[in-house]
Chain A
Amino acid sequence: MIEPDEVFARANYSRPHTIHCGPEGIYVSALGAPDGDGPGGIFMLDCETFDVLGQWEMNRGPQFLHYDFWWHLGFDTLLTSEWGTPNMIESGLQPDLLLSSKYGHQMHVWDLRRRRHVQALDLGKEQQMVLEMRPAHNPTKAYGFTGVVVSLKDLSASIWLWHRNNRAWDLKKVIEIPAEPADPAKLPALLKDFKAVPPLATDIDLSLDDKFLYISCWGTGELLQYDVSDPFNPKKTGSVRIGGITNRTPHPKNPKQPLAGGPQMVEVSRDGKRVYFTNSLYSTWDEQFYPDGVGSWMVKLAANAQGGITFDENFFVESSDYRVHQIRLEGGDSSSDSFCFP
């Protein structure tokens, strides 16, 4: 175990989040500094000894907020996203910060080898919380997808494509998922005035062949599948409903049991045939959006090669003693594997 003091002392970071194995070592993102403020960033571990080596950034430019990261190994490019500092998120979503656009709304492009900030891409201040980074796995392809949790304009969630354009990086919104009208009596305090359930796209995952993109809508309780073979023009190919702030859709195995929480951390098998997801986000946020209890469950879908997803009716794992979160698959999976060769 690596103790927090070692991370504090050697990297001046805390709250580690994403881990990827990459050039020269193990990369770990961190949401902030030991005092809970920013900046967040990436620190490196020695890949043999697991010693904390220090901050990865040589020059962070304007970057301050941090969340997820990944890369295009064929383009020596690293990409990072923005959530909030630990102080902004640990006690729950703070409405005043949200309404004043203080959560992250940018992604950053970095030179992976020189460890320097190259470009900030702004999605617009109304786009709050830019979370998961899912670059094409094919190292010859220079595009990827990131998700925005919520838009202040209309509570929609959205998926953005980053891509190369005129020797620089550019962004395009390629999917927008609208909020769903709802009876205020069924909504938690935070949402009553809006009379709608935001989709809250909290996780996305891209299949290893870069063909299908999965989107967790933790608020509405829906998991969406899009064919992104043409990344500029995604086509919706599948959807399942489970949980949700107002719907509380049951699982087919227990059709009479209403479920809280919604699709959250999603994992796709290497062959693209199976999709797993869990229902818990982050304890203080769980309590805000599911104040009567979020529960804890994990489910599995079968994915058709031509598109389409269905529940495995025999797979429903409930836990009473833990909240289940990230899933990793034996051997590897779509959110951990990086390809060095086409």
Chain B
Amino acid sequence: MQAPPEKHAFVAALNPPGSKLNDALLVVDVDPESRTYGQRVGEVKMRSLVMSCTTSVGMRVVRPFARMRRIRTSSVATWLCLACAHLAFTSLIRNRIRENPR
């Protein structure tokens, strides 16, 4: 398939139940021409959860959230949806990623 090479990867980054650390969406530089290639260059922290239960197991990019019957070609936003599959704090988090996530 023809497509320009990606320059960033978005990675669901999690912490186990009981951990005091938050979950996050990491941005990793995957552009071999970049001086920060192979490094984390961004981080969107998910809210810290009081009940410490955020093991999430799935993330999907929803892009550009078109209805199949009514495709919006003008949409320019990329949305990342992070579904957190754990206990009562099951939540769905979305972040708008701008052109330069840094």
Which of A's residues lie within 8 Å of B, judged by CB? 1-4, 7, 14-26, 28-31, 34, 36, 45, 47-48, 50, 73, 86, 90, 208-209, 267, 269-274, 276, 278, 280, 282-284, 286, 296, 298, 300, 314-317, 319, 321-333, 335-336, 340
Min Cβ gap B100→A in Å is 11
Contact in complex: B11, A26 (CB < 8 Å): no
In addition to A16-B90, A18-B58, A45-B92, 10 A-B residue pairs with Cβ atoms within 8 Å of each other are: A1-B94, A4-B88, A19-B60, A276-B30, A282-B57, A319-B40, A323-B13, A327-B10, A327-B12, A328-B11
Contact in complex: A16, B1 (CB < 8 Å): no
Residues in B neighbouring A280, C-beta threshold 8 A: 14
Contact in complex: A19, B67 (CB < 8 Å): no
* Interchain CB contact (< 8 A) of A19 among B13, B62, B91: B62
Contact in complex: A16, B83 (CB < 8 Å): yes
Min Cβ gap A124→B in Å is 25
Residues in A neighbouring B40, C-beta threshold 8 A: 317, 319
Residues in A neighbouring B88, C-beta threshold 8 A: 4, 14, 34
CA distance A317 to B28 in the complex (A): 8
Contact in complex: A328, B10 (CB < 8 Å): yes
CA distance A161 to B92 in the complex (A): 31
Residues in B neighbouring A15, C-beta threshold 8 A: 85-87, 90
* Interchain CB contact (< 8 A) of B63 among A36, A298, A332: A332
Min Cβ gap A77→B in Å is 14
Given that A3-B91, A322-B15, A328-B61 are contacting pairs, would A24 and B37 also be in contact in the complex, using a CB cutoff of 8 Å?
A: no
Contact in complex: A283, B16 (CB < 8 Å): yes
Q: List 30 A-B contacts (CB under 8 A).
A: A1-B92, A2-B91, A14-B88, A15-B85, A16-B83, A16-B84, A17-B58, A19-B81, A20-B62, A23-B68, A23-B69, A29-B58, A36-B87, A208-B1, A269-B3, A270-B1, A276-B30, A284-B17, A298-B11, A315-B30, A319-B40, A321-B15, A323-B13, A323-B16, A324-B26, A325-B12, A326-B60, A328-B11, A329-B6, A331-B63
Min Cβ gap A311→B in Å is 12
Contact flags (1/0) for B14-43 with A, using CB distance below 8 Å?
A: 111100010110101010100001111000
CA distance A333 to B65 in the complex (A): 15
Min Cβ gap B101→A in Å is 8
CA distance A340 to B69 in the complex (A): 10
CA distance A23 to B65 in the complex (A): 10
Nearest A-chain residue to B58, judged by Cβ = A17
Contact in complex: A18, B83 (CB < 8 Å): yes
Contact in complex: A325, B14 (CB < 8 Å): yes
Contact in complex: A330, B7 (CB < 8 Å): yes
Tell whether B47 is near chain A: CB-to-CB under 8 Å.
yes
Min Cβ gap A337→B in Å is 9
Nearest B-chain residue to A18, judged by Cβ = B58
Residues in B neighbouring A325, C-beta threshold 8 A: 11-14, 56-57, 59
Contact in complex: B3, A332 (CB < 8 Å): yes
Min Cβ gap B8→A in Å is 4
Residues in A neighbouring B47, C-beta threshold 8 A: 1
Contact in complex: B17, A283 (CB < 8 Å): yes
Nearest A-chain residue to B24, judged by Cβ = A322
Contact in complex: A16, B66 (CB < 8 Å): no
CA distance A15 to B88 in the complex (A): 8
Residues in B neighbouring A274, C-beta threshold 8 A: 5-6, 30
CA distance A235 to B97 in the complex (A): 39
